[in-house]
Each structure stands twice: as structure tokens, then as C-alpha cells.
Amino acid sequence: MNTELTKVFTRDEVTKALQQLHPTKAPGPDANTILKIPLSYNLPKDSLIWIGNKKDTFTVKSAYHIASSMVDSVEDGEFSYGNERTSLWKRIWHQKIPPKLKIFAWRTCVNGLPTMFNLNHRGIQCSSFCPLCDKTIETTAHAFFHCDHAKLTWAHWHNCPIDLSHCTRKLVDFALAIAKKDSSFALELFFAVAWSIWWNRNQALYDDSGAPPSQIWDMANRILGEYKEACSFSNLAQVLPSTKWCAPPTSFFKINVDGAASDDGRPSSIGVIIQANQGDSIAASSRILSSPFSAEITEALALQEGVLLASEMGLSKAIFESDALSIIQAINEGNHLKQNGNRVAHDLAKEARRSGVSQVWKGVFPSVVENLICNDRGL
């Protein structure tokens, strides 16, 4: 070993050596630029650092990001395609599809499914041929687009925004092409159908219970529909307590209920107001009860009145709101409101106590009720 090269150089020696460098003989940063780099006077020991993240320490996550960006640029030769993929990953993870479909979508796009070709490629001894048709090697493209059953399934997609019969394209290319069309639903349907095809292949292979293409197509659409419906219901259940009346979602009705009870021996009373998405009032009830009930029972009876009135009106999609938290918790549905958001139902209950009369209105309301509604909206 040449000890002259491994010895520790002093600052002066480095400065002198750099100044002797001629620009033409030593291309790159000139000596003055190098000498401007501040050096620590403490002369700490050199150490290896990882430049993949801000902590200077190696993590698999940072290595993955570096490796995937290198693969993207090597595979595609330009950054724009890498960006397209980055945007596809974002689209995949933000799709309104079940999480298992998102993971499946990502796996198929990175060619990570255990097709016979991939299994062989990873050293597993098995036939590479498609176990369903036995015509050719089971690649991802074959399993999803060229195998007869898959082709017949895709044939049900009459308004597919791209041509899926392109035989040289990979699954990720189709996904990118659909993503470019900017149709969220088409991309969701694409992955739902692909998932259903893969599920059916496994059923046919390992359970001997494959279904015909039309059923697989219906299954994919049903998965999307059921998931969206479940999401819309869970969003409704998560509405936070509000102090203001809020319109229900389209096609739903908001049913506000309230009860008035007191300790003075007078009968309890209840109020109900049913309103549509636009804020139009559909029906209202202001009813005096037969006896004085506890506050809790009065609130429960108010809720019952709301249910009965909604049933009479034939309303199937309804959101109930009450300011009685215990009632809402007991039925585990509907929204709890602070009293301000339930003002009309509260006033209707009070009106019944004041007048001692029970009344129900449907569609047309007397001025006293109209006034309560207008006051609540600040009209």
C-alpha cells in the first residue's frame, strides 16, 4: 500500500496541492471552489453516512424509493413516464374501492401476482402454461386479457374508454391509458373486473367452482356498488354533532325530533319536523302526550313519532336527529344535536304544551309552523 496516499494531510498541504492543479489537467471544480468548502477545525473522524434521507441513516423505505426511481428512469428512459406512474399509484390508493382491491391493483401493476410464469421465474418448479386453457404461458397479460374466459368477461364492458385487445400491452399500460382518460369510475371498474377475473381463476383451479363471464362482470360491478353504498352510510353515521340544522344528502330526509317534559305534573309533549334535501318541509307533528313522562321516555316517544310519521309518508331514506344523547346512543343510529340545531322540533313540542292540542301537518303548514321554520333559518 502506498502510505503517501493514506496518510493524514494537513490543511496547508491540501491547499498547496490544489493551487498547483491546472484547470486543463484537472477538469471539474477549480481549486478555489474546493478551498471555499468550510472544514471543521475539530477534525472529527470520517464516517459513512446514508444520503437517502434527512437522518443520514439507512432505512429500507428510503432505499426502496431510490431503487424504484432508478428502475423507472432506466426502464422508461425519461422522467415523464416515471411521473405518470407516480400519479397512477396516487390514483390507485385514492380510489373508492375496497382496500383488498387497491392492494391487488398495485400488485398487478408491478407484475407481482403469482402467475405460472412469475412462479417459474422465481425458481418454483412448475409448468409455465396457463392451467385453464393450456394454450400458452400464463403471464399476467395472458391471465387477464388473452385467456378466453377473461376476454369474454371484458367483452361486457361496452363503453370501455380504451381498446383492451391490444396484445402487446401490459396490465399497467392499460391502467395508465385509462388513468389518462381521467375517468375515476373506469379505473375503479377496470381493477374490480381484473380482481374478479383473478378470483374466478383461483376458484376454477382450486375449488372447481368457476363462474361464467357474465356473472364475473356482474360481481365486479356489485363489489363497487356495495362498497360505495357502505361508504355513504358510514359517512352519514360519522356526522359530527352540530349546532345548526344541516340539509341531508340528496334523496334523504332529515327528521328532527324533540320532547318537552317537566316536573310540574303537566303532560309531556313532542315535536317532529321532516325536511327534504332542499330544506322543504314535508311534514310536522306537535303532539301532547297522555301523561307526564320522564325526559328520557318523552324523547324516545318523540323519536317514535318521527318514525311513524316517516313511515306514513313512505320515506325510506331518513336521518333522525335529536338533542337527547342517551336516545341516540341507545339506538346507535342518527345524529346527536345540540339544542340549537333542533330548534323547530323543540318549539313544536312546546307549542303542543301551550295549546294542549295535538296536530299533524303534511305538505301544508299553518303560519305558526311556517314562522318556526323561518325563524330557524334566519329568514
What is the nearest approach in angstroms of Zn ion to the Cβ of residue 337? 58
Q: Are 261 and 268 in contact (CB under 8 A)?
A: yes
How far apart CA 279 and CA 289 sit, in angstroms, is: 28
Query: Which range of residues in 15-23, 74-82, 132-140, 303-311 is near Zn ion by CB under 5 A?
Result: 132-140
132 binds Zn ion (CB under 5 A): yes
The partner residues of 254 in beta bridges, in order of sequence, read 275, 319
Which residue number, 132 or 300, has a Cβ lying nearer to Zn ion? Answer: 132
In this structure, the strands spanning 253-260 and 318-322 are parallel
* Given 18, 21, 31, 133, the residue binding Zn ion (CB under 5 A): 133
Closest CA to 166 of 152, 145, 147: 145
Query: Residue 271 carries which DSSP code?
Result: E
Q: Residue 38: helix, strand or coil by DSSP?
A: coil
Looking up cell 329568514 gives 379
How many residues touch Zn ion under the rule CB under 5 A: the total is 4
Site string for Zn ion, 146-185 (x = CB under 5 A): -x--------------------------------------
* Given 101, 109, 116, 130, the residue binding Zn ion (CB under 5 A): 130
Q: Please list every residue from 257 through 276 that binds Zn ion, using CB under 5 A.
A: none
Close Cβ partners of 101 (under 8 Å, ≥ 6 residues apart): 95, 191, 192, 195, 223
Query: Which range of residues in 44-52, 124-132, 348-356, 368-376 is near Zn ion by CB under 5 A?
Result: 124-132
Which residue number, 131 or 279, has a Cβ lying nearer to Zn ion? Answer: 131
In this structure, the strands spanning 318-322 and 269-275 are unpaired
Which residue number, 145 or 320, has a Cβ lying nearer to Zn ion? Answer: 145
What is the nearest approach in angstroms of Zn ion to the Cβ of residue 94? 32
How far apart CA 185 and CA 160 sit, in angstroms, is: 11
Query: Which range of residues in 1-9, 139-147, 275-283, 291-299 is near Zn ion by CB under 5 A?
Result: 139-147
Strands, sheet with 359-362, edge to edge from the N-terminal-most edge strand: 335-336, 318-322, 253-260, 269-275, 281-288, 359-362
What is the nearest approach in angstroms of Zn ion to the Cβ of residue 135? 6
283 binds Zn ion (CB under 5 A): no
Which residue number, 145 or 253, has a Cβ lying nearer to Zn ion? Answer: 145
Q: Are 352 and 288 in contact (CB under 8 A)?
A: yes
What is the nearest approach in angstroms of Zn ion to the Cβ of residue 145? 10
Interface residue list for Zn ion (CB under 5 A): 130, 132-133, 147
